Chain A
Amino acid sequence: MNTSLMHNSPIFRELQDSPLAVILKRYPFAAEHLESLGFSFDFSSVLTLEQELRCIDSLERDERGLCIEEVLKKTALFIEQMLNFLGLQRETRLETVSLYPGFDKNGNPEGFDVLTFRPSELISIVGPTGSGKSRLLADIEWMAQGDTPSGRRVMINDREPDRRFRFSAGEKLVAQLSQNMNFVMDLSVGEFLRIHAESRFVERQQQHVEAVVLKANELAGEPFSPEIAVTSLSGGQSRALMIADTAMLSGSPIVLIDEIENAGIDRRKALDLLLSKEKIVLMATHDPLLALTADRRLVIGNGGIREIIGTSSEERAILRRLEALDRSLQRLRGELRRGKRISRFEM
């Protein structure tokens, strides 16, 4: 769809003029793309990609779907996107995400001027089922520009976001922690994390893997090793792994959470971990402990944001009591797990 301008791109010309060996040395990641096309090649080839392709019998080329023009275009595009992605990882810093109001389901305007979120900020979202929480999360995920049913607009660093944030696989601004936390890969924890690190082109992968496992173990009730299969983790352990992984390996600066369940993880620590990695955390929840932990909460009703409530000092005092209650419950849970009898309960 967007390959029409490729002929003028410097990468395209480079690809036409330089031997494959030079290209692959300069852009090692291109090998993966070429292999995925079913093109087998010699890393030390002095021929250009086009010459290499012409060496393949034309019948066989057709058979494998290797249209020369197409391969050149897509490879150039892939290299360009990767350079962009790697550059972005280093340079772009998200300072603010601003939400401009739209309309509720009856077409009434939302009653706020602009809502600005900053890194390391936690915002809770409350409202009954069907009230429009998912639409709000989707608007942010899609970087709405007045083109969704709510009519809201989202700005990044006070500017209209680049369209590539919507579509490019590697540059999503939003990571989503869903309620369902299953793994379908049949891999060990270590392999799983290595593949994720690889797909993000992270350097020093082993260190990353170890760091994520360490953090996950701080969140989970029962520790696990990187050798264990992801599919055999308990509910709490997989939740902990997923949160640690999203905090530390996902490149997306905004994390959307649809309720962190209580089972087996320290939710406070989980949120702190995400916030310490400069993520903006938006969390849909009805849990008073989590909702009051946020600095602000958005009240959603009939498809619109009805109210923005800053957590008051009175609410903070209530939160401290809730935290004490939660600690007591955690302690009881721990004692039951260790096979003890319960003899006292304090708040």
Chain B
Amino acid sequence: MKLITVSGPPSSGKTSVILKTIESLHVKKRSVAVAKFDCLSTDDDKRYAAAKIPVQKGLSGGLCPDHYFVSNIEEVCRWGDDGGFDLLITESAGLCNRCSPYFKEVLAVCVVDNLSGIGTPKKIGPLLKHADIVVITKGDIVSQAEREVFASRVGVVNPSALVLHINGLTGQGAFELASLILDNARPLPSVQEMHLRFPMPSALCSYCLGETRVGEAFQLGNVRKIVIKDKKEG
């Protein structure tokens, strides 16, 4: 079985892109399953189920979604292996721009959209910087100039990624992504030996452990303080 990870900010169109891409993979006679990771709630699993795509849903609840992801990937992969699928796609919660649930050995796709603004590629961080393929969506809504500026800024941040435009509604470009996935995703013997491309956020301050009171007296563990500048320094 091959595994790929798809991530991206909320509402960037990850599910639509995956659904359209799977349509093309089905045309190419590949069996595909999806594991959707989310935080509090998601109906995306229903969209996959409606398209008759085998799906697992994982909700992280009070935990960091990416920590939850990495501590459950093994079980999910075992499910995929047992099901005998050709390809398993994981879809991230897409909550925190800091994280990148990418493994060194696994094809990583990041979905970003043109509507998020031209400053966004610089703000996203490892999620975008460490992706192998960057899919840009919602290009039909903005001008050619905005598409060009956005794509060139993605190129500045991550010059090694392949950049692809996909229309999640019509599916234009999804066939091409399906081809790229088949060409570049490698079969996975086991997830046990895999390494993350970028460390997850370090945690373990008192708030991680459920503290709700505000104030220095309650801040224990891994705590960092903001540097307040003098008025004169601006």
Binary contact readout A142-165 vs B (1 if CB under 8 angstroms, 0 otherwise): 100001110000000000000000
Q: Say yes or no: B144 contacts A149, CB within 8 Å.
A: no
Q: Say yes or no: A81 contacts B184, CB within 8 Å.
A: no
CB of B184, distance to nearest CB on chain A (Å): 7
Give chain A residues whose Cβ lies under 8 Å from the Cβ of B170.
Answer: 134
Q: Which residue of B is nearest A147, CB measured?
A: B179
| Interface residue A192 (Cβ < 8 Å from any Cβ of B) | yes
Q: Which residue of A is nearest B132, CB measured?
A: A1
User: Provided the pairs A33-B156, A134-B172, A199-B152 are in contact, do residues A181 and B126 lie with their beta carbons within 8 angstroms?
Assistant: no
Q: Say yes or no: A245 contacts B143, CB within 8 Å.
A: yes
Residues A284-330 near B (CB distance < 8 A)? none
| Interface residue B176 (Cβ < 8 Å from any Cβ of A) | yes
Binary contact readout A166-200 vs B (1 if CB under 8 angstroms, 0 otherwise): 11111010011111111111000000110110011
Give chain A residues whose Cβ lies under 8 Å from the Cβ of B121.
Answer: 36
| Interface residue B57 (Cβ < 8 Å from any Cβ of A) | no
CB of B123, distance to nearest CB on chain A (Å): 10
Q: Say yes or no: B142 contacts A184, CB within 8 Å.
A: yes
Binary contact readout A233-262 vs B (1 if CB under 8 angstroms, 0 otherwise): 000001000100110011000000000000
Q: Which residues of B contact A (CB under 8 A)?
A: 27, 114-115, 117-118, 121-122, 125-126, 129, 132-133, 139-149, 151-164, 170, 172-173, 175-176, 179, 184, 198-199
A-B contact pairs, 28 of them (CB 8 A): A1-B161, A2-B160, A65-B129, A74-B158, A74-B160, A81-B159, A138-B176, A149-B27, A166-B162, A167-B163, A168-B155, A168-B163, A172-B151, A177-B144, A178-B144, A179-B140, A180-B141, A184-B117, A184-B141, A184-B142, A184-B146, A185-B118, A196-B145, A200-B148, A200-B152, A245-B143, A246-B145, A249-B145
Q: Say yes or no: B172 contacts A138, CB within 8 Å.
A: yes
Instruction: Tell me the bound Cα distance from A311 to B141 in angstroms.
Output: 33
Give chain A residues whose Cβ lies under 8 Å from the Cβ of B139.
Answer: 176, 178
Pick the residue among A73, A74, A181 that contacts B143 (CB under 8 A): A181
Instruction: Tell me the bound Cα distance from A111 to B137 in angstroms.
Output: 35
Give chain B residues whose Cβ lies under 8 Å from the Cβ of A195.
Answer: 118, 149
Count of A-B residue pairs with CB < 8 Å: 120
Instruction: Tell me the bound Cα distance from A134 to B173 in angstroms.
Output: 11
| Interface residue A57 (Cβ < 8 Å from any Cβ of B) | no
Instruction: Tell me the bound Cα distance from A242 to B152 in angstroms.
Output: 18
Pick the residue among A3, A179, A196 that contacts B160 (CB under 8 A): A3
CB of B199, distance to nearest CB on chain A (Å): 7
Instruction: Tell me the bound Cα distance from A184 to B198 in angstroms.
Output: 32
| Interface residue A14 (Cβ < 8 Å from any Cβ of B) | no
Q: Which residue of A is nearest B125, CB measured?
A: A65
Instruction: Tell me the bound Cα distance from A78 to B153 in angstroms.
Output: 12
